[in-house]
Structure 1
């Protein structure tokens, strides 16, 4: 008697783990965080009263046009979470291949939360806001700062884990690039937290540097498939 194999015996994950699907997920990772940076910087250059040397990019979520930055946080965060799946597949079995994608995903979750919880208006922005910080911060502002801390910490750690990944793979220039990106955010955030001059600018430079490095890593993984 001839045995006929049932279609049900086909591995259900075969299609979802195909190179084409992974490439699509990596394309999302390539776009996600640079998209956030581009939208944020475009607003920074055009919003009345905004000064990147005085105001964090998160402040753009305030005012009548604040919805743009809120949507920017949420959309980029969702795309980052999705794109992290592509990184996990592409880096599976390599040094750092487990934790780098996990940390990228955590940074995406932090971005979503940063969009949901908006920091209080402060230091003259939006126009009409008194100079300096408010006498008391709202709980939403504290939640936003916590979400930002999660995002920054995850991005810094992801860059250092990728440095380990590249170092173990013999790609020294990429390893250095990863560590430089992580250090740029570490120092930029530290300077901003210390109240240093133009700390919001150093933070923006650090955040965008780390974000772009994650995007470049995803692009390199995509080209390698």
Structure 2
């Protein structure tokens, strides 16, 4: 009975939101907006609970002096400072912009640089273990992107930087990314339809 009620509520909410997008009926639009507001509020609460859980886990590591407790301390201090400043100032405040451009952005760039080197090493190891066509394509693509993007001591390679890298990044990679996004969209649509028709019952049903 519990699973039937939860499934019925999920189906009803999904149908109201879906019908409200296709038919401009004032009552349905109001109910749809209300349900979406509830969803946004619940998502914000889930994020807040996740932050509290993160603080709790790292605080326990600091108190028990586990391995990596120093990094947990840095994480907790950084999170609290950012949270307090974010509550005191607006997101577009110069203080928040300074934190973003001085801390967040350099860290992201460093991680992207490490990711590029890691991909190159992974492609080499993959070619050693499984020497096939896909391994060669992966390694060659990684090298082409690095040669066309990275600053070289002897200057920029004209062909790699002007023609080959834009073609790989803007044509081949964009086509692959669009294919992945289309697959995600179709999978999401299929999952939503299965929930709407009661085939899948993730809310306490079987």
TM-score (norm 2): 0.25
TM-score (norm 1): 0.23
Name the one with the larger helix percent: 2
